[in-house]
């Protein structure tokens, strides 16, 4: 298939591109490079070549610098390429930053997605996998979280943009019966590719826990800020469902495979019908901040300094998934452990 990956050079997009390329898909990565660099393209191709692709084959990855807020960029891309489906990663993603800059988040995430969908309709592309988030559940009233768990008021503007986009996609499927939408609600992706060539290395101060731990571990930053140690959890720190980014990438591979009209790979996992489909992607296990910190310390071989700070606006106590639906319908299961996630990050950050 020929796939457009918006945000395709970002953290999750780049890992997913590797897995698609390994299977022979043709990838166009559309990215404004706001949180990455074009050098990621070379790293993606090298990671594929170190994997299972034959020496005679060449990974088919095209990079287009563009912005979803620029409709001309989108129209030019769709005019030059005929896509079978879109995998939509692009968007701002930091919870704390979204609390401080809500309008920026609504404009980039929601308006950008509407621009993308209008362009897809114009060019008759009616299949999309959307990068959503467990934040749409707000402060959950049940654990584990199922796809049927009620969506409470989200606790931050980032989560609200994801919930809004999901509603837009659902309404679009009602209005246009030819659309197939797969929404993947991620829990907390961490880790790096087994090659050590790609991983999470954000520009500026990291907004997510794992890359911040990595920067403290290698001496870039003095200490880790732990936001709150008075939650009702095993050790007082927030508990999340951390999932290895490669497992997450393989979830997208499974979702796209179910979009194929010629999907005959398994009678058990047939092509998805048109309409709106939602899946959680997580491990089903909760890990606290301190547990993650200890695992990283074990992987890197030394202690990592930290300071306990007040709770951060927009955070919740505990969040972990039920991924039974993804296993039953997509044939996907996360397999990598917290220790494996941390070891992969150490390998990436040692390069």
**What is the 3 state secondary structure string of the chain?**
CEEEEECCCCHHHHHHHHHHHHCCCEEEEEECCCCCCCHHHHHHHHHHHCCCCCCCCCCCEEEEECCCCCHHHHHHHHHHCCCCEEEECCCCCCHHHHHHCHHHHHHHHHHHHHHHHHHHHHCCCCEEEEEEEHHHHCCCCCCCECCCCCCCCCCCHHHHHHHHHHHHHHHHHHHCCCCEEEEEEECEEECCCCCCCCCCCCCCCCCCHHHHHHHHHCCCCCCEEEECCCCCCCCCCCEECEEEHHHHHHHHHHHHHHHCCCCCCCCCCCCCCCEEEEEEECCCCCEEHHHHHHHHHHHHCCCCCEEEECCCCCCCCEECECCHHHHHHHCCCCCCCHHHHHHHHHHHHCC
Active site residues: 158
Residues 265-286 have a mean pLDDT of 87
Mean pLDDT, to the nearest integer, of 76-97?
95
Q: What's the pTM?
A: 0.94
pLDDT band at 262 (very low <50, low <70, confident <90, very high): low
pLDDT for the residue 313: 80
Q: Give the pLDDT band (50/70/90) at residue 266.
A: low
pLDDT band at 35 (very low <50, low <70, confident <90, very high): confident
Q: What is the mean pLDDT of residues 216-226?
A: 95
Name the more confident of 76 and 207.
Answer: 76
The per-residue pLDDT for 263 is 62
Whole-number pLDDT of residue 95: 83
Structure confidence at residue 205 (pLDDT): 82
Q: How confident is the model at residue 314 (pLDDT cuts 50, 70, 90)?
A: confident
pLDDT at 138 over 80: yes
Region 75-80 average pLDDT: 98
- pLDDT of 99 above 70: yes
- At the topology level, CATH places domain 2-349 in Rossmann fold (3.40.50)
Confidence category of residue 19, pLDDT binned at 50, 70, 90: very high
Q: Given a cut of 80, is residue 267 above it in pLDDT? A: no
User: What does the pLDDT read at residue 80?
Assistant: 98
- pLDDT of residue 207 exceeding 90, the answer is no
Grade residue 265 by pLDDT with cuts at 50, 70 and 90: low
Per-chain mean pLDDT for the chain:
93
């Amino acid at each position: 298939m020929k796939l457009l990956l918006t945000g395709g050079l970002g953290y999750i997009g780049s890992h997913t591109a590797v897995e698609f390329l390994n299977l022979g898909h043709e990838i166009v990565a559309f990215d404004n490079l706001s949180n990455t660099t074009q050098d990621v393209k070379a790293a993606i191709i090298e990671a594929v070549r170190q994997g299972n692709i034959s020496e005679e084959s060449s990974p088919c990855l095209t990079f287009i610098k563009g912005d979803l807020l620029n409709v001309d960029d989108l129209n030019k891309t769709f005019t030059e390429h005929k896509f079978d489906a879109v995998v939509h990663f692009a968007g701002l993603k930091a919870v704390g930053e979204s609390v401080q800059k809500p309008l920026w988040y609504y404009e980039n995430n929601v308006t950008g997605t509407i621009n993308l969908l209008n362009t897809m309709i114009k060019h008759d592309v009616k299949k999309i996998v959307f990068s959503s988030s467990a934040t749409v559940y707000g402060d959950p009233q049940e654990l584990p979280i199922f796809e049927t768990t009620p969506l409470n008021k989200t606790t931050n503007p980032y989560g609200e943009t994801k919930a809004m986009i999901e509603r837009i996609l659902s309404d679009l499927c009602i209005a246009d019966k030819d659309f197939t939408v797969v929404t993947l609600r991620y829990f907390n992706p961490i880790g790096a590719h087994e090659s050590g060539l790609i991983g999470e290395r954000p520009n500026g101060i990291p907004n997510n826990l794992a890359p911040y731990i990595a920067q403290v571990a290698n001496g870039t930053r003095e200490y880790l800020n732990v936001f709150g140690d008075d939650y009702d959890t095993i050790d007082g720190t927030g508990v999340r469902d951390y999932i290895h980014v490669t497992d997450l990438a393989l979830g997208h591979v499974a979702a796209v495979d179910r979009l194929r009209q010629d999907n005959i790979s398994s009678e058990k996992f047939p092509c998805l019908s048109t309409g709106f489909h939602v899946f959680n992607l997580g491990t089903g296990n909760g890990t606290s901040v301190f547990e993650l910190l200890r695992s990283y310390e074990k992987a890197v071989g030394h202690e990592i300094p930290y300071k306990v700070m007040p709770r951060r606006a927009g955070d919740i106590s505990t969040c972990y998934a039920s991924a039974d639906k993804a296993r039953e319908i997509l044939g996907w299961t996360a397999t990598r452990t917290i220790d494996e996630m941390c070891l992969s990050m150490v390998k990436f950050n040692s390069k």
